[in-house]
Structure formats: structure tokens, C-alpha cells
Structure 1
């Protein structure tokens, strides 16, 4: 089922276009949550993810505790937003995370984000590339709030993540 490509938007004027995009997504996400159009006992989450790094990013891993993906997770070009979609059963909703990286060598860095639609929580981290312990990420996600920002003090990577209604928005810098 994950063979469907996500919608992709190239940001021509990254700073101006992105701020407008996030505002529109927050309004749309809140409206969707208020109207909660749930089909057959499922909830569908849209996860706009933007790559503002200096390079193309490679998907290392995608993990689901609850739910499943409706779209593929391709490598992400810079200055581009990808609209991933996920679906999960009620009442659990969608609880999932991803990891993208700038490469595999010792100077490469990774970005991790995780979301829980039922609890309205988002978690993120950035750091040197390597395996992700999804059990640890889940504990941190459960302890987080609806938004998160993390700056890697060693390699300088930055990530923001927030959940607004049925929109799980993340940005990688």
C-alpha cells in the first residue's frame, strides 16, 4: 500500500513561502480536528515534512507503533515539502516516527521525528547518524508536548516538529 508517492511542493522563495505554508497547515489541521471526519473508525493524518538542509536527505527508517503509511517515503530534495499520509484505527490513531540522514559517514547527521495523533504529541531530535532506538523515542514522545524543537550542539542540525489537529508538521534544517 505504500507505493503511492506523496504530494511534493518545491519552495521557490523558501523563507516567505514556508511561513505561509505552515500558517495554512495549522489552520487546516485545526479545522480538520474540529470537524473530525473519521471514515470507518479510522483517522487519517497528513505529515508535511520540509527539508531546509544543504543537501538531499536519505530515509534511514520509518517506524509505526499504531497505524500504517498511505504514501512512500522517498529521499527528500532540499527546499522541498513532502506531504506524507498515514492512517490508523480509533481510538489509538496514528503513532509513528521517521529518521532521515545526510549520509552514512562519520560527519553525517540524522533527524528523527515522532508523532502521536491520539495524544496530540510530537517529539524530535537531531545528531550524528546511526541506529535509532524506537523504544527510547517512544518514551520521549510519550513525555513530550504538542511541539518540539531540537538543535544538535555537535553537528548543528536543527529540527522542529508539531502536531496540530490532523497535521503532523516537521522541518529539518
Structure 2
């Protein structure tokens, strides 16, 4: 399977990263979360809408050999690569994936950084009930960690959306040879 993936990356003209799949994955990971803000859900929905348009209007011509322009494909691949990179967290706690989109199979389908923060909040609630010393400070710290995780996710979604906008703008203004 690894060899097939490598061959595909080497031989396919367009990287096999699909913005719509990424956007739908983001939305699925945010489903049924009480801690998720409306701004986060709105950004995820906006990313999905723009990614669908980007994938149909920009990627489709690049995959057609008759319409394939090498410089167009190169620019498209740069956008796709950076789109995938926008979900990478520079520094993560142990047990959290650097790429926010991935998690172990069989685990809950959510962002690993968010799952880590939720587990920390649960741990804080258990320990603060057991030892009432500094329980208010621990609770504030735990909620701060959760907010920081949500902020990282929102930042990644907005970064991905900016890249999709950039790609749409780039190819809208790209000179066409079909005149």
C-alpha cells in the first residue's frame, strides 16, 4: 500500500489531496461537540463550500490531459501541499498528532488535540473534586487548555480557507491560452 501511494505521488500530475475531503473531515470531527463555538462551525462550513468549488473548478481541468498546463499544475500542487500543511501544529503535547486531521483508527473521530484537551478537563474535574486545594486554579488552567486547542483548530481552518481563496484567485486571474 505504501509503494502504491508513493507511485501515485510520483506519477500523478496533481497531488492526490482533495480539499473537499479535508473540509468534510473537519466538519465531521466538529459534529456534536458542546465546546465548539459557532465561529468554528461557521468557518468549517465556509471551508467546505469554497473547497467544493475549488476542487470542481480548478482541479478538474488540471486532471484533464487536454487542458493540462505544467505551470498551472505546479501552482495547483503548491496550493494543495500548503492546504495539507495548514493543519500541522508546530509543538504538541505527547500523545497528540502534529497533523490535526489524523487519529488512530478505532479512536473517537475527532481532532487529537481536542480529545487530549477534553481528557485533561475530565482529569482536572476528577482531581479537583478529590482535592479541593487549588481546584479553581486547576479548572481555569484546564479550560484555558481547551480554549487553546479550539483556537489552534480555528486557526488551521481559517488558514486552509485562505489557501483555497488564494488558489481560486490565482487561477481566476491566470492567463488562459484557449482564446
- The answer to whether TM tops 0.5 is no
Larger radius of gyration: 2
Q: Which has the higher strand share?
A: 1
Q: Which has the higher helix share?
A: 2
Please report the TM-score for the alignment, with normalisation by the length of structure 1: 0.24
Please report the TM-score for the alignment, with normalisation by the length of structure 2: 0.24
